[in-house]
Structure 1
Amino acid sequence: MILNTNKIIGIIGGMGPEAGIELHRRVIHFSEASRDQEHFSIVHVGFPSKVVDRTQYLEHKTIINPAQAILEMVHIAVNSGATVLGIACNTAHAPQIFEPVKMGLSTHEKPVNLVNMVEEACVSCIQEVPLNSKIGILSSNGVFKSELYSAMLQHRGFEIVLPSPKFQEEVIHNMIYNSVFGIKSNSTILRTEVLELLHKAMRFYLNNDVQTIILGCTEFSLLKEVLSIAYPNILVIDTIDVLAKALIREASKPVTA
């Protein structure tokens, strides 16, 4: 099959770098292509050293909004021809960050489709999860404290099970950000400490009758295989998968004049 589109996908990465690469890989994986020429053209921009940590901004530990650096990457992608964009970071979809990025897109003459990962994940829940089901979220503190997923899903009739702030900080957030063993510090090697914390988090959710888990941080997408093997009866909504499929869907739509 030759893809009948000239739309270029833009991946805004570097948050963290491994997650952006994973999104790129999954766009390739989910594409219906049998030869090089049938794949989507992709512009992947990642400036990790320029983007302030999103959770630190949302927790008021810095006054620098990462939206500025994200928008800089967006402009590079659009000026390189991308018209369908995805940001490979859940926390960057908090309104305080995402909305300024959307507003900044208005400076471009041609229309640009910035796909919202969080909205797409919520649509996946509506399609795959029975109403009134209990959903748990593995996320950064930024997503947790901004209620990015919980507010949207509760409005749609789901029950969201949340840990205490202490558990969120010491167990779930620690899996990502611990400077010694966290996923951001060891993105290519899954440390034993992370697995121990993951199982502790899953015990909490299983004890609260949760049957669906949203991987609400792109770093957690790197644990998808472990979760699928260890907890086969849990439905995992992987936001990198969701975003990759949404980018393919939007880039496959006919180009309008």
Structure 2
Amino acid sequence: MPSAPSTHRVRSACGEPPHGNAPRRIGIIAGSGPEAGIDLWGKVLHWNRRILGEAFRGDIDSPAVVVFSEPILGLSMDMRQNDAVVWDCLKRTIDAIVPHVDVFTVACNTLHYYAPRIRKRCGPAEFIDVADVVRSHLAHLETDSAALLGAIPVASLDEWSPYYSLREEVNFERPAQLASLHELIHEIKLLGGDSSEIRGRFSDIVSGLESETVFLACTELPLVTATVPGKSLVDVNDLLAKQLVDKALNWAGTVDDQSDRMES
């Protein structure tokens, strides 16, 4: 379940701005992979500018963002085998970032398996969870069915999946060949998403789904520069970014709840 709104506030190293309350400080934990953290940060900047609209004045209205990137978190692609070492790294990273942020997330769907443990560890800082933002987006669409693309620990929807808690609420369609999708994700990590061969394989997987709405529940998949006719591709990283900005700006009284109704 979503965490209760927090009144936690971390003071900026540079003090408060002359125009009044600063937005809450945003944290991003990256490393699985590092490009996913960069991608999420870019989307945070996009949503900050979009939600502020004409009130955006440039650099001084950009969000304060803290990013910790830990390569060991990349072992999460084989979560069952690497559970102990991955959680040890993640909990140390949480402990390191929490004193510097007010609201944060992890730029990796697979690592949100640890969401209950993260919330117990993060103190007054607020953690944004992939399952919560997907639930909210489905409610906005007024549907309880969609396709879910992700690495095997995510798309299997078993007890290792961060979407396990949604299994009674949502009818998730998954690709028939999860192993092929998992392999594609590994290759995107190595080669990027801009090759014609990777775009073709991605498009073939998406085209084989019956659902119109397709959640890209792996931070590598939105790096593929492809559109698929007849499919609405929903980037979970983008949903996380919007929620981070909403939480940051609403604390400062900068925006009202109309931002919740903006379409991605």
Shift of residue 255 of structure 1?
6.1
Shift of residue 196 of structure 1?
2.3
Distance 2:154 2:21 in 1: 37
Match of 1:98 in 2: 115
Match of 1:21 in 2: 38
Shift of residue 20 of structure 1?
0.4
Match of 2:189 in 1: 184
Residue 39 in structure 1 maps to residue 62 in structure 2? yes
Distance 1:176 1:137, change over 3 A: same
Equivalences for residues 96-175 of structure 1 within 5 A: 97-106=114-123, 111-128=124-141, 130-131=142-143, 134-147=145-158, 148=161, 151-156=164-169, 158-164=170-176, 167-170=177-180, 172-175=181-184
The residue identity in structure 2 corresponding to 1:93 is H
| Structure 1 runs not aligned, ≥5 long | none
The residue identity in structure 1 corresponding to 2:178 is Q
Which of 202, 208, 215 is the aligned partner of 1:198?
202
Match of 2:226 in 1: 226
Match of 1:246 in 2: 243
Distance 1:73 1:151, change over 3 A: closer
Report the TM-score when normalising by structure 1.
0.79
Residue 54 in structure 1 maps to residue 54 in structure 2? no
Distance 2:66 2:191 in 1: 26
Q: Which runs of 4+ in 1 moved over 4 A?
A: 149-154
Instruction: Tell whether the 8 Å contact from 1:23 to 1:88 is kept in structure 2 after alignment.
Output: yes
Distance 1:125 1:65, change over 3 A: farther
Match of 2:259 in 1: none
Residue 10 in structure 1 maps to residue 27 in structure 2? yes
Count of residue pairs the alignment pairs up:
227
Instruction: Tell whether the 8 Å contact from 1:27 to 1:248 is kept in structure 2 after alignment.
Output: yes
Shift of residue 87 of structure 1?
0.6
Match of 2:3 in 1: none
Distance 1:149 1:47, change over 3 A: closer
Distance 1:22 1:63, change over 3 A: closer
Distance 2:214 2:37 in 1: 21
Deviation sequence 1:83-134 (CA, Å, 0-9, x none): 101110000111xx3333222224xxxx110111221122111212x435x4
Shift of residue 14 of structure 1?
1.2
Report the TM-score when normalising by structure 2.
0.78
Give percent identity, aligned residues only.
21
Equivalences for residues 65-76 of structure 1 within 5 A: 65-76=85-96
Tell me the C-alpha RMSD between the 2 structures: 2.3
